[in-house]
Amino acid sequence: FLRDYYQEKKAASKSFSYVNFARKAKISSSGFLLHVIKGERNLTGPVLVNVAQAMGFDRPQTEYFGDLVAFDQAKSQAEKNFRYGKIMAQRRSAEVKQLEDSQYAFYSDWHHSVIRELAPLLAPGTAPAQLAKLVIPAIGAGEAGSSLKLQEQLGLLRRTPEGRLAQSEPFIGGSGAPARKLAITRFQRAMLEVAGQAWDNFEENAIAMQTATLSLSAEAALAAKAELKDFLKRLLALAQADKRPADRVYQLNLNFFPVSKTVGGQSK
C-alpha cells in the first residue's frame, strides 16, 4: 500500500522523495519509510498516525490504514481474522432500506424487529410457538404468528422455494418525517424498556452496558452525534461482512441526550 502511494506521488511530482515523505510524517530518519516498504521495519503508534496525516487521511481512512498495518503485523491467526473482519467491514458500506408509509406497522411492537432477525435463522416449518420461546422477554405464540404474518404482508419477510423465511432487505430503517417519527419514537421507547430488563434476563457477560456523563460544548456535542452515526454504520457493515452463521439476535440502543439546561442560557 505504501509502495503504491509513493510511486503514485513520485509519478505526479519528480520532486517527491522519501525525504519529503518522512519530513511530512515528522520522522527524523529519511530512510525509515523505505525500510517499512521493504518489510524491514514496522509502523507503530504515533508514527502510524503521523504517516496517515502526511498522506492526508481523515479519521475513517486513518482507522482503515491502522487495521491494514495491524493485519500485517498480527502474531496469531485469531488476531489476523479479527483485523480482516474490520477491514472488510469498512470496505463494504451497508445500505439501509427506508421503509414506506405502508410498512410502518412494523414499528407498532418491539418484538417485530426481533422476529425479523430471528425467523431466518430457524429451520423451515418452525412453529410460531417455538419461535416465541426464543424471544427475550417472552412473547406469546399468537404474537409470534401475527408478527410473521404481518411482516410477510408488509414485504419485510419472504418465503424461499425451500420454505425458509428470509429478509427482503438486509437492513431497514425509518425517516424523521413527523408522521413516521411518532411510530419510531414509540418503538425506541419500547426497546429502552427491553434494555432495562436485560440485567434480569441475562448474565453480565452476555450484555454490554456502558454509560458516561460528561460536559461538552455545542460543537463537541454535534461531533459526538456524528461519531455515534459513524459507529452504527461500521457495526452494520461488520454484520454484513460476517460470513459465519448467526446464532443469536442482539439489540443495540445508542442514546445521547442532555441532562441539564445550558449554563447561562434558556434552552431546554
pLDDT in tens, 134-185: 999 999 999 999 999 999 999 999 999 999 999 999 999 887 666 678 889 9
pLDDT tens per residue, range 97-113:
889 989 999 999 999 99
Give 148's DSSP letter. H
pTM over 0.75: no
Residue identified by cell 424498556 is 193
In percent, the amount of the chain with pLDDT more than 70 equals: 95
Q: In a 3-state reduction of DSSP, which class is residue 158? A: strand
Contacts of 127 (CB under 8 A, 6+ apart): 141
pLDDT tens per residue, range 64-109:
899 889 988 888 888 888 888 777 767 666 678 889 989 999 999 9
| Cell numbers standing for residue 99 | 421503509
Q: How many CA atoms within 13 Å lie on the side-chain side of 151?
A: 30
